[in-house]
Amino acid sequence: MEPSDETLAAQAAAGDDSAFEAIVRRYQARVFRLACRLTSDTDAPDVLQETFLQVHRHLPSFRGESRLGTWLYRIATNASLMNRRAKARRPAESLEMYLPRFDAQGKHVATPVELQVASRADELLDRQFLAEKARDVVARLPDPYRDAFVLRDLEDMSTADVAHALGVEPATVRQRVHRARLMLRGYLSDLVGVKP
Amino acid sequence: MKEIACASGVELLMDYLEGVLPADLHTALDEHVAGCPRCAAFVASYRDTPRILREATAATLPADLEASLKAFLRARTTAFRSS
């Protein structure tokens, strides 16, 4: 039977290298995926290294107040954000054109069929094309929206954990995730040729 | 009962789906979506957006990177202990 995270953390904190390597094996793929989403494919290897260095350094002070995965994810998030801050700032890009449109009465302009087409983006588009476009558009989101959306929706963290990781209120996380979903939904719709 | 237009319903959608709206507003939005095919379609695509992007942006750790990470950590963590 595989040892639990808690057992591995205690053994690694006591200097057991094989336990630390087991933690790395267990979490490296998820940390890499997170780093790609928050930084870039090019920067993710550096984030991966930095994350596990930090984990190794701080394991002796890990008290188990949160789960190992949550704690480690927080380190990976911080490493990603630090990596991004160290780079030249991206020019802010507006994705407002992908927001839904309403008439003067506040009613959707698009038809039900048009409004639902974003749901079929993965059926209608080539997989590789969609993967490239998806990575690109997530990176184009304004940083506060990108961070909240990646952690909440792509990494499936709870709203409370995202709020803690980003140092904002849960209501702010919900507002940012919502805005990101609206823009990305419209973007998917536009990709398959229907105005959002 | 509160009347909701599509535009104001969209603004409430995240809170609605997370179940943090006041009960009367939640009920009003339920009723609006049930009677509005446009909003029903919109909600469906809004719900599907994270899934599609999650699948499309799921990077796989390359084997050579896994090997180089292991070598890097072995060198650096040994250095920590001997410093």
Please write the tens of the pLDDT for every residue from B45-56: 999 999 999 999
Query: For residues A58 and A75, is the Cβ–Cβ distance under 8 A?
Result: yes
**What is the model's pLDDT at position B82?**
60
Q: Are residues A141 and A116 in the same domain?
A: yes
Half-sphere exposure of A32 (CA within 13 A, CB side): 18
pLDDT at B80: 61
Distance separating alpha carbons of residues A138 and A149, to the nearest angstrom: 9
Domain B6-82 fold: Arc Repressor Mutant, subunit A (1.10.10)
Position B3 scores a pLDDT of 76
Cβ <8 Å between B60 and A37: no
Rounded to the nearest integer, the mean pLDDT of chain B is 91
pLDDT of the residue at A139:
93
CB A72 within 8 A of CB A31: yes
Same domain, A77 and A117: no
Tell me what pLDDT residue B81 has: 63
CA-based nearest residue to A192, from B52, B58, B13: B52
Angle formed by the axes of helices B23-35 and B37-56, nearest 10°: 100
Show pLDDT as tens, one digit a residue, over chain A (196 residues). Answer: 889 999 999 999 998 999 999 999 999 999 999 999 999 999 999 999 999 999 999 999 888 888 899 999 999 999 999 999 888 767 767 889 999 999 999 999 999 999 999 999 999 999 999 999 999 999 999 999 999 999 999 999 999 999 998 999 999 999 999 999 999 999 999 999 887 7
- Judged by DSSP in three states, A108 sits in strand
**Closest residue, chain A, to B42 (C-alpha):** A115
Name the residue with tokens 């506040």: A106
Q: Where a domain ends, among A85, A108, A140?
A: A85
Cross-chain CB nearest to A108 (options B15, B20, B42) = B42
**Burial class (CB within 10 angstroms; exposed 0-12, middle 13-18, buried 19+) of A180:** buried
Nearest CA in chain A to B14: A178
The CATH number assigned to the domain holding A44 equals 1.10.1740.10
Does residue A118 lie in a domain region?
yes
Q: Name A108's bridge partners.
A: A102
Q: Burial, A60: exposed, middle or buried (Cβ in 10 Å; 0-12, 13-18, 19+)? A: exposed
Shared-domain flag, residues A78 and A105: no
Within a domain: A196:
no
User: Per the structure block, which two tokens stand in for A77?
Assistant: 């998030």
- CB contact set of B29 (below 8 Å; sequence gap of 6+): B4, B9, B12, B16, B21
> How far B23 CA sits from the closest chain A CA (Å)?
17
Instruction: From A66, A85, A104, give the residue that closes a domain.
Output: A85
Residue of A nearest to B38 (CA): A112
Residue A113 and residue A29 in one domain: no
Q: Measure the CA–CA gap between A186 and B45, rounded to whole angstroms.
A: 9
Tokens of A60: 């002796």
User: What is the largest distance, in Å, between two alpha-carbon atoms of chain A?
Assistant: 66
Do A20 and A60 meet the contact criterion of CB atoms below 8 Å apart?
no
Predicted pLDDT of residue A93: 73
In the block, tokens 């490296």 appear at: A28
In the chain, the amino acid numbered A4 is S
CA–CA separation, B9 vs B5, rounded Å?
6
Determine the average pLDDT of the residues in B20-40.
95
pLDDT at B83: 56
Token pair belonging to A161: 């954990």
Q: What is the pLDDT of residue A87?
A: 82
Residue A57, domain extent: 5-85
Are A131 and B69 in contact (CB < 8 Å)?
no
**Domain assignment present for A105:** yes
Given A56, A85, A114, the domain boundary residue is A85
Instruction: Please state the domain extents for chain B.
Output: 6-82
Place of tokens 């979903």: A181
